[in-house]
Amino acid sequence: MNLGKTIQFLFQVLTVGLAAFIVLVFLKPELINRGGTVVEILQETKPPVTTTSIPSSGPVSYASAVEDTSSSVVNIYTAKIVTERANPLQDDPFFRRFFGDNAVTPRKRLETSLGSGVIVSPQGYILTNNHVIQGADEIRVVLANGETPLAKIVGTDPDTDLAVLKINYTKLPAITIGQSDALRVGDVVLAIGNPFGVGQTVTMGIVSATGRNQLGINTFENFIQTDAAINPGNSGGALINANGKLVGVNTAIFSRSGGSQGIGFAIPASLARNVMQEIIEHGRVRRGWLGIEAQDLTPQLAESLGFESTAGVLVAGVLQGGPAEQADIKAGDIVVTINFKPVNNSRDSLNQIAGMAPGTDITLGLIRQGAKIEIKAMVSERPKR
């Protein structure tokens, strides 16, 4: 074999090899090692899904969420001196004649109660329910480390049943406030508190409903409903999501026995945060107010007024000297829009006006004697109850 044939043979081998490589690249690219960094991915091994198993994306344990938040939930103990009402018989002159004035001295006794609270600031601010500390002469907070400092009331808001306390501590484990407005029915939630005084307890459930109102519990209602067990002593405690973020403040239960029956209510964290900021910054919650008595339109009432729809509210009364009277709003007017947004019922209109800062100018769309008119008014601050 001479040199020319050898070169021709090598050229043919290289041509065949190159052709095979090109075919391999297009047909089996995974067999070609292209070099670079190799990334190792750890993937959870899941059992095969059968017809009887239900796939779930939830965690097996919520221990991490509880560990992150449990030290932010405190127990609250209150005490107040109660003067017992004297027996009417003691006011009788005949009784006084025989037993003297000492017998009619009112008796006093110490009344204690318990609840829960949530540390919302490292500077010592604690959020709880107003009914937990209402009328208390002394308030003590039990921290996770066992210390029991005295607390003072920064401010209260009976309309939402919220209160803010303060203890002279710093660098406290404050809870992280979550996005309560993003809650969906079916989301897992956990209630942390001190039911019946047995000590810190965690219960689990789901969000049963959102936006619950017209329950007659508070003036302003926008409750999260949950089936997580809430009992006496849980009031003011935390309702957290599966990630350990505060989404609500446990407030009330619906029960015929006094214990949990799977219908509990919590104030959304978004509402609680706004109330807390108002109390800390201004000492009170400032809400808008017009000074009108609003009544829902029933089909019968709308027909009697010659109004074809039940959307809107009837002005049943106007407070003398209030913002509504100054704006020439009259009893018998039907409010159909507030700032050009439709009004559905009296509660919606109350919440819409209350959410405005005092001094805000608003435009009301009214129906007066069958004619549509617009009136501008200035919102004042809602008076204390």
- In the 8-state DSSP scheme, what is residue 106? P
Active-site entry in 131, 157, 227, 346: 131
Answer whether 335's CB lies under 8 Å from 362's CB: no
Strands 188-193 and 292-296 turn out to be: unpaired
Q: Is the C-alpha dihedral spanning 192, 197, 199, 205 positive or negative?
A: negative
181 catalytic? Reply is: no
Answer whether 104's CB lies under 8 Å from 222's CB: no
Active-site entry in 159, 161, 227, 333: 161
- Count of Cβ atoms closer than 10 Å to residue 377 Cβ: 23
d(CA 239, CA 268): 9
What is the residue whose two structure tokens read 């010592």? 124
- Count of Cβ atoms closer than 10 Å to residue 313 Cβ: 25
Active-site entry in 116, 235, 260, 349: 235
CA 271 vs. chain centroid, Å, equals: 6
282 catalytic? Reply is: no
121: left (phi over 0), alpha (psi -120 to 50) or beta: beta
Backbone angles phi, psi at 341, to 5 degrees: -105, 135
d(CA 337, CA 109): 53
131 catalytic? Reply is: yes
Among 108, 110, 86, smallest CA distance to 99 is for 86
Amino acid at 176: T
Answer whether 379's CB lies under 8 Å from 353's CB: yes
Could you list the active site residues? 131, 161, 235
